[in-house]
């Protein structure tokens, strides 16, 4: 039986979308494979550029697909009836392919872009109810049975792990590696089975081999971190705790470059190592940002439906002067809506805020800036809001919300992982934990500076403490590049009246920053401020900031390792 013209169009459209996604995937892999060369050349900036180029691929692929569909569907491009058929045929074609969820997300982006969908349109996009059966494909792993107290076995293991860069590898000290592993795992039995993912993971000038160790019947995580020095590749660190690896795969770093045959099996493997980490974050950190957004969206709404008694609330902490921040008590994300009007003390504009979030998207986040996902046209049920909160949202954010008969439509917002505001943490945590947070607060400011970021407003209320206990920055209103600032000494004066004035008696430019004044505005108790000064006193010295600026300007890579000294194999010589 011959096909009707519409059937021919539908099949052609389905094949067009499938090819568009597969072309995107191939380009994604092409860029990702540059990572090995970037690593060996110690081209950290080039790796960041590749991540940004890869990120931009998705929208480019969607735009190209729309142009091709316009040629196929002509005047039926915006026909919902034909898109219902396209969706059904597309599902039949892709339901058994590997990474079927990624195919579905690509389709949804096309559909929503064309029809400017608000909320969810289940007739022409895929929903949580359409999720394909979990793939039976296993990730590619290398499996070895070893005795970790045998130097030959350890030498063999390091040879396997360094195979991708074998011609450039520095020989390792098996005894140092054994001491590290035996301490980390408190080994009673050195006979182990190790499974290592075949793909290498690259990010920010480093390379990682990710795997797990079966020790006495239990699978434990292990990640080997490699650096490149003038002498060659060397094993810098071995991460053996869930906390260390959770930080490495966290939402405060840039995305990994890992050339994966199939994404979903690797996410499953990582989920076993990091059971508390949401799949949304794992997809995102692997560079599959749209899939991460889909997973987060579907997970949030599944939670909302399962807990109708929960209502949105303003997030804990001091109210932002630029953003209204909402959260659901039982779900660990926040929704940040730009207010219609900013507090008088804020000189930034709406355009400035959008630009600064865009800067964070493409900058090296060095584990100190929370990854924010941009969402549009979200429909939340009215039952999720109290009357007072609904009134607040409508009054303060009218430009980005619209009230419907049974829903609140949010035209634009940023969604981030919720963290504990540092000022509240310091007021409630046991003193030892509070002191650790104060020290890491100072380290966070330093790490950002070394990545060419000045946080701007250094008040603790703009920082947060993650579940892993790390201090991160999340208020981007006044964030700027370090090279945009002018760090100055506070002038001396013999005039007592001037010296006691709350306002400067000299000209202050828009980009002037006075580090010596930081302690006056941090709001830390005297003992905690003294601790911060003793550990990170450079922060209050303009000379340190100027020296850091100079190093950044010269292109010197000011390294910020994504792990602590406990993970390092100290006896191995090398360095970057």
Return the bridge partners of 55, or none: none
Sheet holding 420-421, edge to edge: 420-421, 463-465, 471-473
Provide the phi-psi class of 216: left if phi over 0, else alpha when psi is between -120 and 50, else beta: left
Measured distance CA(475)–CA(349) in Å, rounded: 15
The answer to whether 400 and 413 are in contact (CB under 8 A) is yes
Closest CA to 250 of 224, 217, 225, 281: 281
Helix H or strand E encompassing 209: strand 206-215
Q: Which residues are catalytic?
A: 371
The answer to whether 409 and 397 are in contact (CB under 8 A) is no
3-class DSSP assignment, residue 373: strand
Distance of CA 387 to the CA centre of its chain: 34
Measured distance CA(23)–CA(484) in Å, rounded: 39
Measured distance CA(249)–CA(242) in Å, rounded: 10
Dihedral over alpha carbons 553, 555, 560, 565 (to 10 degrees) = -120
Burial of 149 (0-12, 13-18, 19+ CB in 10 A): middle
DSSP tag of 539: G
Instruction: Provide the token pair at 103.
Output: 């195919």
Measured distance CA(123)–CA(131) in Å, rounded: 15
Q: Are strands 486-487 and 323-328 parallel, antiparallel or unpaired?
A: unpaired
Q: Are strands 407-417 and 331-338 parallel, antiparallel or unpaired?
A: antiparallel
Measured distance CA(371)–CA(354) in Å, rounded: 14
Q: How many residues does the chain have?
A: 576
Measured distance CA(61)–CA(200) in Å, rounded: 26
* Cα-based angle 41, 47, 49 (whole degrees, multiple of 5): 130
Q: What is the DSSP string of 77-124?
A: TT-HHHHHHHHHHHHHHHTTSTTHHHHHHHHHHHHHHHHT--S--TTT
Measured distance CA(510)–CA(478) in Å, rounded: 12
Report how far apart the first and last C-alpha atoms of the chain are (Å, whole number): 68
Q: Which residues contact 226 (CB under 8 A, 6 or more apart)?
A: 161, 162, 165, 206, 207, 208, 209, 233, 234, 235, 236
């Amino acid at each position: 039986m011959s096909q009707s013209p519409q059937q021919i169009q539908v099949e052609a459209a389905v094949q067009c979308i499938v090819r568009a996604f597969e072309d995107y995937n191939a380009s994604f892999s092409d860029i990702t494979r540059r990572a090995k060369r970037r690593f060996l050349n110690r081209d950290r900036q080039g790796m960041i550029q590749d991540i940004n180029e890869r990120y931009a691929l998705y929208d480019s692929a969607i735009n190209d697909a729309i142009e091709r569909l316009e040629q196929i569907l002509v005047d039926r491009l915006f026909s919902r009836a034909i898109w219902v058929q396209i969706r059904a045929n597309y599902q039949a074609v892709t339901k058994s392919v590997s990474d079927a969820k990624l195919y579905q997300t690509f389709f949804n982006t096309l559909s929503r872009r064309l029809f400017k969908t608000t909320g969810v349109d289940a007739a022409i996009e895929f929903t949580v109810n359409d999720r394909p059966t979990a793939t039976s494909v296993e990730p590619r792993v290398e499996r070895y049975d070893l005795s970790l107290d045998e130097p030959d076995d350890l030498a063999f293991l390091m040879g396997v792990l360094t195979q991708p860069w074998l011609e450039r590898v520095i020989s390792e000290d098996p005894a140092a590696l054994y001491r590290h592993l035996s301490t980390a795992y408190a080994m009673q039995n050195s006979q182990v089975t190790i499974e290592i993912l075949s793909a290498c993971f690259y990010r920010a000038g480093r390379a990682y081999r990710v795997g797990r160790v079966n020790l006495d019947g239990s699978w434990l995580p292990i990640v080997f971190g490699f650096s490149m020095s003038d002498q060659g590749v060397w094993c810098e660190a071995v991460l053996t705790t869930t906390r260390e690896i959770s930080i490495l795969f966290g939402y405060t770093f840039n995305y990994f470059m890992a050339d994966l045959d199939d994404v979903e099996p690797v996410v499953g493997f990582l989920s076993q190592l990091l059971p508390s980490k949401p799949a949304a974050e794992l997809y995102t950190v692997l560079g599959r940002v749209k899939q991460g957004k889909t997973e987060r969206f579907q997970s949030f709404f599944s939670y909302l439906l399962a807990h109708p008694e929960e209502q949105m609330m303003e997030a804990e902490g001091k109210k932002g002067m630029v953003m209204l921040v909402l959260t659901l008590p039982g779900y660990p994300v926040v929704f940040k809506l730009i207010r219609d009007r900013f507090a008088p003390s804020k000189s930034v504009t709406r355009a400035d805020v959008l630009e600064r979030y865009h800067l964070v998207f493409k900058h090296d986040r060095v584990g100190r800036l929370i990854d924010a996902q941009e969402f549009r046209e979200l429909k939340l049920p009215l039952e999720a809001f109290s009357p007072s909160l609904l009134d607040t949202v409508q009054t303060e954010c009218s430009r980005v919300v619209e009230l419907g008969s049974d829903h609140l439509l949010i035209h634009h917002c940023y969604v981030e992982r919720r963290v504990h505001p540092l000022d509240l943490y310091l007021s409630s945590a046991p003193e030892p934990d509070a002191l650790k947070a104060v020290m890491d607060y100072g380290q966070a400011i330093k790490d950002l500076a070394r990545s060419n970021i000045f946080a701007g407003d250094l008040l603790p209320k703009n920082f947060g403490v993650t579940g892993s206990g790390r201090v991160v920055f999340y208020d981007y209103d006044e964030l700027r590049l370090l090279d945009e600032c002018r760090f100055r000494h506070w002038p001396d004066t013999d005039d007592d009246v001037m010296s006691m004035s709350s306002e400067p008696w000299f000209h202050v430019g828009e980009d002037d920053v006075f580090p010596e004044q930081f302690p006056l505005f941090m709001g830390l108790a005297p003992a905690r401020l003294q601790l911060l000064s003793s550990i990170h006193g450079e922060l209050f010295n303009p000379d340190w900031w100027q020296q850091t600026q100079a190093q950044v300007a010269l292109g010197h890579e000011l390294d910020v390792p994504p792990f602590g000294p406990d993970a390092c194999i100290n006896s191995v010589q090398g360095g970057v």
